[in-house]
Amino acid sequence: MSVGRNDISGLKQTSVTNPLRIYETESVSHTGTVACRVSPHRRQPVRPWKHCLAALVCSVVLTPAAHSEFTIRSRIIGGKPHLYIADIAEYFRFDMSKYYNSVELSSEQRRIVLTNGKRKAKIGTAIVYLNFEPRFDRTSAFISQMDFVSLIDPILRDTGLPKHPLRRIIIDPGHGGKDNGAVGSRVLEKNVNLRISKDLKNILEPYGYVVALTRTTDEYISLRGRGVATQKWGGDLFVSIHCNATHNKNVSGIETFIVTPRGASSTTQSKVQRKSVRGNEFDRLNSRLGYEIHQQMLSTTGARDRGLKYHRWQVLREASCPAVLIESGFLSNAAEERKLESQVYQHALAVSIAKGIISFHNALKK
């Protein structure tokens, strides 16, 4: 793969500019209906979306201006509030096609596919795992309110993202010292992680970021120590770099993890995480950061897409800033191991992660 040294000049802003502006919201009614009123003049900003989100949670009523309104209806399904996908489609000006078991939302910029009873969804070119399965009935399709608020909306809309500074970036090369991580037939995970991390640091610094690594040599650092270092150093963003391995040698591809929100279960587990952890403070930012990095990595490398997933890895649980953990590929897969040990592929990975971070930063500036 040919990727120019530190060349991220081709970086495009991938986020969709939200055409909608909310000026008024309404409280949750006793029947569980959530009404979010938005201006019909959708290109004219009036009030920020956070007011609507506040209403979803706190039943805040904002005084309406003299405009007509738009409502996202909700229904309680399985004890949880779900939103009508048709309303969300209209809200974001997507065309919607409902099939027997799936729904497709499409615009000029993006296509979203949601499947009845499946957490696996597609947003743009990337696979994204939802917190809960979408639910369909004969006439309508629904997505959980949590998925809309903490995942879909932050990915689709720049202006709804919480304010967050982004200057100091901490890169965490997984494992080190006595902890080899995954062991391939030719390379050790800890060494690949460190090389990608150092490369990423070199790529980011010319863009004005202050970048630190949790380790710069082959040394052992505890998981807790990595979180403490981030907090002490005052990192605004945390990226943990790993490689994967499994007993099935055919498995390959990239997966990106963000911390599991409270009330949901991790992607490959059924246990519901009832408690909030520190990293949950950044759920919405994590979603956008994870999405930007994940899709950049896939489009740059052409690797198999294993999805943006949720897990409560310790470094994500204890994160004091938006955080992702990247599994760059499988050392247990011979072809992927050969790629991962090559400097060219390591550089392609580093460039794509940098692109994802800069895309995320651009979205924050909106």
CA 17 to chain centre: 17
The nearer residue to Zn ion, 160 or 181, going by C-beta atoms, is: 181
List beta partners, residue 98: 103
Residue 292 Cβ vs Zn ion, minimum distance, rounded to whole Å = 22
Residue 182 Cβ vs Zn ion, minimum distance, rounded to whole Å = 6
Residue 175 Cβ vs Zn ion, minimum distance, rounded to whole Å = 6
Among 181, 235, 322, 329, binds Zn ion (CB under 5 A): 181
**Annotated catalytic residue, options 24, 327, 337, 341:** 327
d(CA 147, CA 310): 12
* Candidates 199-207, 238-246, 262-270, 304-312; binding stretch for Zn ion (CB under 5 A): 238-246
Among 157, 242, 309, 361, binds Zn ion (CB under 5 A): 242
The nearer residue to Zn ion, 160 or 290, going by C-beta atoms, is: 290
Contacts of 286 by beta carbon, 8 Å cutoff, 6+ apart: 258, 259, 279, 322, 323, 324
Q: Is residue 26 among the annotated active site residues? A: no
Concatenate the DSSP letters of all residues of 275-324 into one string.
S--GGGGGHHHHHHHHHHHHHHHHHHH---EEEEEE---HHHHT-SS-EE
Q: Which residue is nearest to Zn ion (CB)?
A: 242
Residue 315 Cβ vs Zn ion, minimum distance, rounded to whole Å = 10
Residue 328 Cβ vs Zn ion, minimum distance, rounded to whole Å = 9
Q: Which x/- pattern, by CB under 5 A, does the window 43-82 give for Zn ion? A: ----------------------------------------
* Candidates 112-120, 234-242, 261-269, 281-289; binding stretch for Zn ion (CB under 5 A): 234-242
The nearer residue to Zn ion, 242 or 317, going by C-beta atoms, is: 242
The nearer residue to Zn ion, 142 or 330, going by C-beta atoms, is: 330
- Assess 184 for contact with Zn ion (CB under 5 A): no
- Assess 174 for contact with Zn ion (CB under 5 A): yes
Q: Is 361 left (phi over 0), alpha (psi -120 to 50) or beta?
A: alpha
**Count of residues touching Zn ion (by CB under 5 A):** 3
Tell me the pairing of strands 102-106 and 80-84.
unpaired
CB 34 within 8 A of CB 52: no
d(CA 337, CA 247): 14
Closest CA to 287 of 314, 317, 308: 308
Tell me the pairing of strands 36-38 and 111-115.
unpaired
- 3-state percent helix, strand, coil for the chain, nearest multiple of 5: 30, 25, 45
CB 188 within 8 A of CB 196: no
Annotated catalytic sites, by residue?
327
Positions touching Zn ion (CB under 5 A) are 174, 181, 242
